[in-house]
Chains A and B, each alone.
Chain A
Amino acid sequence: MGLSVRIVKKVEGFTLDVEWQIGNELAVLFGHSGSGKSMTLQCIAGLVKPDEGSIRANGDLFFDHGLNVHVPPQKRSFGYVFQDRVLFPHMTVRGNITYGCKGLSRSEIQGRVAEMIGLLHLRGLEDRFPAEISGGQKQRVALARALIGRPEALLLDEPFEALDNPIRLEMRNLLKEIRREFDLPVVLVTHDVLEAYTLADRVIVYSKGRIQRSGSPSEIFRLPADLDVDWL
């Protein structure tokens, strides 16, 4: 079980060339903006097609350049939470969460929606529209929507970036709760040191499209091997 990624992707003036494997743990992709962290997630989700490499999750092959495999994003099952502008503005909280669930019977869907609403502390907000709830609540809905389909892995692209500090703290705790509930690989993109330190099982440091270091949070943040990590 886990996620195994090798990606080479050239775009104008930038080359992403990374390779990593994780188990059912939380890996933080850490680095400056523009170092290729988000693009890695987009490749995993299938929104961007890498030039070379392969992507596997829990034994399923989703992309392989050599074998000419490229599963479209609709057929991959990754829970993707974007930084902002993520909820469908014309659907209620319940509608948004339900939209993440498909191919199940009505009662099963209702059961799961109720479960997610409970787990992510969204009770009482079911019939509100995204414009009527706070930023933290929106991200909780986005998490519920991403998790309800029982994804292969959870991909979080700076999900707490736009939130105020106290809410961020709350969201970190919530993420820990989620991990106790769901046993799956989580990839979190962030450039917040504290977030990386408190949440990660493993930190993968990106720099200019390459992996500079990887290891446990204490290895990475106590022994900064070079200026780049130090500076961050």
Chain B
Amino acid sequence: MATVFVVLVGTGMAYLLARKSFKGKEILDILLTLPLVLPPTVIGYYLIILMGRNGLIGSTLYQWTGWSMMFTWYAAVLASFVVSLPLMIKTTRAAIESVDKSLINASYTLGHSELTTAIKVILPLSKKGIIAGTVLAFARAMGEFGATLMVAGNIPGKTNTMPLAIYTSASSGEWSRANLLVLFFTLISGLFIYIANKFSTRVI
């Protein structure tokens, strides 16, 4: 779920950052990269400030609909989205920037608009980077723990993602369950990295 948004938004942002120059580009780049280095609790805190019942966006949303995103699976999706977006952007941007400029010019001189060029030339040629980014972002989203815990809580069957379930199992002494989950998670993650490597030689 989060990955779908990450791919759509991430590819768009990556295109913007790779091909355009505009005011505030540096700042946008920094803002989009920050979740990569900030502790998850800080990200969770920001999300609460923004989306919480008294938050900047959340309060308006609550007033209009009487619904708050906090402690629902939407919040878990949002947390995963924010945390995995930078990985998608970084990988895709590198791929887009490596597309030969003369091919883009060739497309323009053949009378094709920027949009057609992006869809038919630039994106197909950065396909590998986009797939690698998607796989990494998906793996990261799946592994998201801290921010999810803060905004979505740990409600069994509702917002407990796999890392949260592992935390619960371990802290309540259900070792066999924890073992199983951890093993499964490690294998899946390893598989994702393998896939990402297949598509890209430039993995962060």
A-to-B contact residues, CB < 8 Å: 45-47, 72-80, 82, 85-86, 88-90, 99-100, 102, 145-146, 149
Asked if residues B106 and A80 are in contact (CB atoms below 8 Å), the reply is yes
Taken residue by residue from 107 to 128, chain B's Cβ proximity to chain A (1 for < 8 Å, 0 otherwise) reads as 1111111100000110011000
Asked if residues A78 and B106 are in contact (CB atoms below 8 Å), the reply is no
- Out of A74, A89, A99, which one reaches B125, CB within 8 Å? A89
Asked if residues B109 and A88 are in contact (CB atoms below 8 Å), the reply is no
Asked if residues B105 and A73 are in contact (CB atoms below 8 Å), the reply is yes
Given A82-B106, A88-B103, verify A74-B111 contact (CB < 8 Å). yes
Q: Which of A45, A82, A88, A145 has the most CB of B within 10 A?
A: A88
Q: List 28 A-B contacts (CB under 8 A).
A: A45-B109, A46-B108, A46-B109, A72-B108, A73-B105, A73-B108, A73-B109, A74-B112, A75-B111, A76-B111, A77-B111, A80-B106, A82-B102, A82-B105, A82-B106, A85-B100, A85-B102, A86-B103, A86-B106, A88-B103, A88-B106, A88-B107, A88-B121, A90-B124, A90-B125, A99-B120, A100-B110, A102-B110
The CA-CA distance from A34 to B102 in the complex, in Å, is 18
Taken residue by residue from 121 to 157, chain B's Cβ proximity to chain A (1 for < 8 Å, 0 otherwise) reads as 1001100000000000000000000000000000000
Asked if residues B111 and A149 are in contact (CB atoms below 8 Å), the reply is yes
Asked if residues A102 and B109 are in contact (CB atoms below 8 Å), the reply is no
Asked if residues A102 and B111 are in contact (CB atoms below 8 Å), the reply is yes
Asked if residues B103 and A74 are in contact (CB atoms below 8 Å), the reply is no
The CA-CA distance from A179 to B102 in the complex, in Å, is 26
The CA-CA distance from A75 to B105 in the complex, in Å, is 13
Closest 9 CB pairs of A and B: A80-B109, A73-B108, A90-B124, A100-B110, A45-B109, A74-B108, A74-B113, A47-B105, A73-B109
Smallest CB separation, A102 vs chain B (Å): 6
Which A-chain residue is minimally distant from B114 (CB atoms)? A74
Chain A residues with CB under 8 A of B100: 85
Interface size grouping (class) on chain B:
10 to 19
Smallest CB separation, A205 vs chain B (Å): 26
Query: Secondary structure of the B side of the interface?
Result: helix
Chain B residues with CB under 8 A of A78: 109
The CA-CA distance from A78 to B103 in the complex, in Å, is 15
A sample of 6 more A-B contacts (CB under 8 A), given A74-B108, A102-B110, is A45-B105, A72-B108, A76-B109, A85-B100, A88-B106, A145-B110
Chain A residues with CB under 8 A of B108: 46-47, 72-74
Which B-chain residue is minimally distant from A145 (CB atoms)? B110
Which B-chain residue is minimally distant from A82 (CB atoms)? B102
The CA-CA distance from A90 to B163 in the complex, in Å, is 40
Asked if residues B111 and A85 are in contact (CB atoms below 8 Å), the reply is no
Chain A residues with CB under 8 A of B106: 80, 82, 86, 88
Which B-chain residue is minimally distant from A80 (CB atoms)? B109
Chain B residues with CB under 8 A of A46: 108-109
The CA-CA distance from A76 to B105 in the complex, in Å, is 12
Chain A residues with CB under 8 A of B107: 88, 99
Smallest CB separation, B95 vs chain A (Å): 13
Smallest CB separation, B155 vs chain A (Å): 46
The CA-CA distance from A135 to B41 in the complex, in Å, is 57
Q: Which of B105, B112, B120 has the most CB of A within 10 A?
A: B105
The CA-CA distance from A88 to B100 in the complex, in Å, is 10
Which B-chain residue is minimally distant from A89 (CB atoms)? B125
- Out of A47, A89, A90, which one reaches B109, CB within 8 Å? A47
Q: Which of B103, B113, B114 has the most CB of A within 10 A?
A: B103
Which A-chain residue is minimally distant from B108 (CB atoms)? A73
Taken residue by residue from 59 to 100, chain B's Cβ proximity to chain A (1 for < 8 Å, 0 otherwise) reads as 000000000000000000000000000000000000000001
The CA-CA distance from A89 to B103 in the complex, in Å, is 9
